[in-house]
Structure 1
Amino acid sequence: MDEFIQSQTDVLIVGAGPAGCMAAPTLARYGEENKRAATQAGHASAFQPRTQEILQTLSLRIEEDELGYRLTETSFWSIDEYENLSRNSVGCEVIHSTPYQYLFNSDQGITGGVFGGGLISRVFRVGPLLGVVSDSDED
């Protein structure tokens, strides 16, 4: 049996979704060491309609939408006993009322680039906090 490598971690961010992409540079800004694990292969990201609404409020959805793909339906396929491929059913991805009647799909690299660009455009720079200076005379 392989032995586990023991280490201590204060914060572990798993994933490159909106929360992970915003949490990592924010922690780095306050001095937390940022060590990224290598990604073996890009992973797909499918954003649900509610997530797209949140991305819209952050002015990130339009750029993501231009670089990715819209997924409006899913097909299920099977192979019969004669090895013929046939489609069993087709279903809509989004069945409730929303402005975005599709799942948005892109790869991890596109999503990370858009989120990183959004942070930089808002002057959130990744770097350590060097100190705090108060210009008021009050304690």
Structure 2
Amino acid sequence: MQRRLLKTTLAAAGAALAVVLTPFTAQAASYSGGNYGAYAYEGSYPTISGCSGTFAQKHAASASGITLKYFYSSRCGSFARIENAPQGCVAVAQRADGGGWVSESVDPGINYAYTKIANNLNGRLSRAILSCNGHDLAWTPWY
């Protein structure tokens, strides 16, 4: 009986140690609405093959010490990024047509977030929005 108890205790201790030694990685919470996903590249992060490295910063704004950045690629579309942001803040990329939007929240242990691609090509417009705790604090013009 003691031998089985010792084996069980050692197994539990090993499992606990494995959990402690496993590195924590933040997992962003992505949400979307309207007709988001109707166009190519939407639902993909800007690091996707064929889009990575094609984005240039087009605009930046700040509010409460948080920076909102808007990036655009004539090949893939646009995305929003926020920096120096606390939890409770989200980056939003919004398309003008059909109300398509995608947002990404700031996760524990990091102070930034960036959205998936919003396809504002072929005459469609988009903008970036910084929202914290349900209040829009900053936004870019429509591009």
TM class by shorter chain equals under 0.3
Higher helix share: 1
- The answer to which structure, 1 or 2, has the higher relative contact order (CA under 8 A, 6+ apart) is 1
Please give the TM-score of this superposition, normalised by the length of structure 1: 0.22
**Which TM-score applies when normalising by structure 2?**
0.22
